[in-house]
Structure 1
Amino acid sequence: MLTFEEARKIISDRLVENSKSLDGDSLVILDHLTIEKPYGWIFYYDSQFWHNQNRDTKYIYAGNVPILVDKQTGNQIPCNSGNNEIAYEYEEKEKMWNLFFDRK
């Protein structure tokens, strides 16, 4: 079973690799947005220039969907940014019980 620090390093290493094509910018984990679930962690990330410096729209990093790291396997699974369907599937698979209200 992975620790939080090990899971965070997996994502950090992935972001370093993905940052090589960003012409001086880098991708950073947004620790304050990290979500812990019983089966893993969901990590959010963004462009360092956009997030930490000037909010100039030319530095927005498109396609930066959150990534789930499974505690048991270390697998990295991109999540949907609009809703966490991947997290819902894991909760169902792991027999987690959640109460959802349908607003219809």
Structure 2
Amino acid sequence: MSWMGPSTAREVTVPDTVGLTVTDARTVASEAGVALAAADPDGPPVGALTWPGVWVVTAQTPAPGTRMRRWGSLVIEFEKVPDGGTGEREPRPPSP
């Protein structure tokens, strides 16, 4: 069994999640070996803050390309996409 040095085994490169939906950002982060987190460590988790609806990542810390420990927290800021991002609205009855 070969041994990997501490920096290669325990560090990952932070992905760029800005502009992605929170759902897609979670997948990208997980594949990179980091965990999404909200800015308030004592507050609700990202999943609770971004449900229901479609939310997009607007900022992240640390920056993309930064090296960090595996499964460390990638803190994101996010905002809700109006109308769920589909552009469709609920039908309205015609005016009289």
- How would you bin the TM-score normalised by the shorter chain? under 0.3
**Higher RCO structure, 1 or 2 (CA under 8 Å, sep 6+):** 2
| Structure showing the higher helix proportion among its residues | 1
| Structure showing the higher strand proportion among its residues | 2
The TM-score, its normalising length taken from structure 1, stands at 0.26
The TM-score, its normalising length taken from structure 2, stands at 0.27
